[in-house]
């Protein structure tokens, strides 16, 4: 609630539950007060299943057990079996259990413990008036294994899993959420449709139907997906399947038996760094050159001093010479060069902050693109990387350059 910790637990749980046919209707963050946590359980009681993460530790502000007990009108009771398990876990680390750890051995009578193999806080499964409540520890290293195993087993045992929802996801690049929504407004989609903006510079377009919950089936979702692809293609909006852009680029290069190299100034090696995150990158990547200074642009990439004096480092002429110099050095089939101004200083009327020049040498075809990106320094660099990957994929897929 203070902004110091991101709630990655809710995201993980939502994805994990959704693919198992359990629709997530509400996600809530509350303060570490008994009244607020009790109120959250009262909200959760409106649904079939309520899951709480965090607040199961040994300190006085760990109040999730107490809050659930208050909600269901029960008193917590000490469980000697749980205490023995907690002591055993702690003793394996050559330390003695603290007195405060005993708080973690209190449970609601009739509740079932969920084993935590990576921490001292056991989880809890409790059924009250036909509603199912789950308590899990907060650390992802503890709760994610419990979700996959202990919670998964309980959902099967109580027959709570639905059929896997029919779903299709498209990642749309170089278009905003509102523009995409306007473009598809009259499409007449039959399945559920959602537009989600991602920090990775794309908009996810979702189609889904929950088997056993909603009417509709996989054919309906597929039909909507095909309709969306047709409209996006007509408007020259580049889209991909639900996968990292750098991985799709790697797969495309491997399939076409092509190699790639990078000449980076503004991105400082991050473009190549993003590419090598993928296993098997060595099948396509020849290498990269970080030429941040003008001196290295001349020495390593063969950019002429005359070009740098006449046009500057951030220019169409410079990235052209960078790309051809990169081809001469690496021999890669695909050569990408990039130079720009990420800010927050250094911009001018002629070359504002966010301006980025790209040089693309794809097989024997060269083309230049220029973009002006908005945002922070980090955002501008990220958008430049995504833009470059998209444009190479457009070329390799036969789309042609997006903007010239």
| 2 inside domain | no
Among 1-5, 234-238, 379-383, the range scoring the smallest mean pLDDT is 1-5
Last residue of a domain, one of 218, 240, 262: 240
- DSSP codes of every residue in 322-348: HHHHHHHHH--SEEEEEEE--SSS---
26 falls within a domain = yes
Same domain? For 89 and 73 the reply is: yes
Last residue of a domain, one of 157, 183, 215: 157
User: For residue 274, what pLDDT is reported?
Assistant: 98
Structure confidence at residue 316 (pLDDT): 99
Convert the pLDDT of each residue in 114-154 to its tens digit. 999 999 999 999 999 999 999 999 999 999 999 999 999 99
The answer on 365 and 334 residing in a single domain is: yes
Domain span holding position 69: 8-157
- Residue 246 predicted with pLDDT over 90: yes
**What pLDDT does residue 339 have?**
99
Q: Which residues contact 307 (CB under 8 A, 6 or more apart)?
A: 315, 317, 318, 321
Provide mean pLDDT across the span 208-216: 59
pLDDT exceeds 50 at position 19: yes
pLDDT at 92: 87
Mean pLDDT of the chain: 93
Helices and strands per DSSP (H, E), number in the chain: 14, 15
Whether residue 401 is contained in a domain is answered as: no
Residues 50 and 134 in one domain: yes
Tell me, yes or no, whether 46 and 128 share the same domain.
yes
Q: Decide if 44 is inside a domain.
A: yes
Does residue 242 contact residue 169 with C-beta atoms inside 8 Å? yes
Quote the pTM value: 0.75
Q: For residue 217, how many other CB atoms are within 10 A of its CB?
A: 12
309-320 pLDDT per residue, tens: 999 999 999 999
**Counted domains in the chain:** 3
> Which pLDDT score, from 0 to 100, does residue 404 have?
41
* Over residues 5-32, mean pLDDT: 92
Q: For 84-114, give the secondary structure using H, E and C.
A: HHHHHHHHCCCCCCCHHHHHHHEECCCCEEE
What is the rounded CA–CA span in Å between residue 334 and residue 111? Answer: 61
pLDDT of residue 97: 87
Measured in degrees and rounded to the nearest 5, phi and psi for residue 240 equal -135, 175
What is the Cα–Cα distance from 385 to 38, expressed in whole angstroms? 46
Whether residues 314 and 273 share a domain: the answer is yes
Strand partners, 362: 334, 365
Backbone phi and psi for residue 271, each to the nearest 5 degrees, phi listed first: -65, -50
CB distance 286 to 261 below 8 Å: yes
Q: Are residues 291 and 392 in the same domain?
A: yes
| Confidence grade of residue 238 (pLDDT, cut at 50, 70, 90) | very high
CATH number at residue 185: 3.30.70.2860
Taking 90 as the threshold, does the pLDDT of residue 215 lie above it? no
Residue 233: per-residue pLDDT: 95
Same-domain status, 361 and 276: yes
Tokens of 184: 């598809």
**235 and 251 share a domain?**
no
Q: Which residues pair with 134 in a beta bridge?
A: 51, 125
Residue 214, pLDDT score? 52
CATH code of the domain in which 288 resides: 3.90.950.20
């Amino acid at each position: 609630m203070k902004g110091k910790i991101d709630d990655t637990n809710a995201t993980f749980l939502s994805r994990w539950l959704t693919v198992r046919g359990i629709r997530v209707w509400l996600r809530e963050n509350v303060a570490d007060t008994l009244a607020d946590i009790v109120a959250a359980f009262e909200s959760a009681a409106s649904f079939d299943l309520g899951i709480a993460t965090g607040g199961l530790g040994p300190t006085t502000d760990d109040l999730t057990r107490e809050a659930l007990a208050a909600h269901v009108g029960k008193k917590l009771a000490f469980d000697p079996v749980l205490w023995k398990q907690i002591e055993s876990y702690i003793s394996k680390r050559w330390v003695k259990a603290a007195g405060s750890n005993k708080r973690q051995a209190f449970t609601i009578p009739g509740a079932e413990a969920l084993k935590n193999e990576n921490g001292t806080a056991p989880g809890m499964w409790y059924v009250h008036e036909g509603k199912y409540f789950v308590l899990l520890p907060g650390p992802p290293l503890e709760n994610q294994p419990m979700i996959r195993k202990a919670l998964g087993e309980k959902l099967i045992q109580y027959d709570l899993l639905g059929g896997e929802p029919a779903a299709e996801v498209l990642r749309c690049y170089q278009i905003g959420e509102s523009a995409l929504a306007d473009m598809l407004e009259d499409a007449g989609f039959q399945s559920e449709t959602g537009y989600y903006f991602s920090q990775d510079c794309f908009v996810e377009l979702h189609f889904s139907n929950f088997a056993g919950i909603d009417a509709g089936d996989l054919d309906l979702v597929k039909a909507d997906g095909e309709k969306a692809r047709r409209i996006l293609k007509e408007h020259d909006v580049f889209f991909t399947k639900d996968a990292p852009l750098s991985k799709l680029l790697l797969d495309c290069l491997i399939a076409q038996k092509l190699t790639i190299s990078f000449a980076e100034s503004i991105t400082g090696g991050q473009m190549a760094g993003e590419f090598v995150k993928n296993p098997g990158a060595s099948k396509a990547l020849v290498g990269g050159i970080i030429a941040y200074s003008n001196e290295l642009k001349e020495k390593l990439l063969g950019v002429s001093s005359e070009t740098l004096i006449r046009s500057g480092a951030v220019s169409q002429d410079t990235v052209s010479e960078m790309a051809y110099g990169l081809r001469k050095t690496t021999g890669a089939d695909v050569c990408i060069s990039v130079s720009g101004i990420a800010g927050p200083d250094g911009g001018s009327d002629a070359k504002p902050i966010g301006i980025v020049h790209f040089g693309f040498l794809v097989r024997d075809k060269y083309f230049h693109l220029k973009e002006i990106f908005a945002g922070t320094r980090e955002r501008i660099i990220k958008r430049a990387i995504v833009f470059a990957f998209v444009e190479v994929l457009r070329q390799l897929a036969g789309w042609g350059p997006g903007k010239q």
